[in-house]
Amino acid sequence: MFEAMIDPTARPATSATGAALAPRPARLAGLTVGLLANTKKNAEPFLDEVGELLTAEYGVRNLVRRKKLDIAKTAPAEMRAELADACDVVVVGVGDCGSCSASAVADGLELEAAGVPAVVICSEAFAATADAMADLKGAKGYGYTRTPHPVAPLERGEVRERARRILPDLVGILTGRATAAA
């Protein structure tokens, strides 16, 4: 018999209306960027393209690539701590389904709480899921970048084009010069 029922969607009464974001760098040149991929098809190639573009066009010094093994769960605490220690900013993605979009936003918010600016990439079809997770975590209106759905079946050239298309928004979120469409 249950003594109490827990509503997993309820927020604590003292919840803030928005989570604090980590301080943003003015530019990315010379910085180390973390790329946190999930196991969705094309997540790693998408983030690899983002990393290559950030290096070539924005002067990023180093890339740290990590892959979480479960799309529906946040990255292990040790992996997030490693990224927080080694990276100046982190790109998380690709949210291309409901579970992976929600967990990507949760990863981004966990990194922000650790003091590392993060940007999450989600496909437009799962914006409601991403927004719901941000709201659940006390970060209503959390900015992330969106790409058209789907990402998984794209060919390599299409992945590169999608990465190029979101790059200005992604850089704007990381540097605080722009806010993703919410």
pLDDT in tens, 4-39: 433 344 333 222 335 789 999 999 999 999 999 999
pLDDT digits 0-9 by tens, 39-61: 999 999 999 999 999 999 999 99
The mean pLDDT value for 161-177 works out to 96
As a whole number of angstroms, the distance between CA 48 and CA 162 comes to 12
Q: Are residues 28 and 89 in contact, defined by beta-carbon separation less than 8 angstroms?
A: yes
Q: What predicted TM-score, i.e. pTM, was given to this entire model?
A: 0.88
Residue 20: the pLDDT is 84
Residue 178: the pLDDT is 61
pLDDT digits 0-9 by tens, 56-76: 999 999 999 999 999 999 999
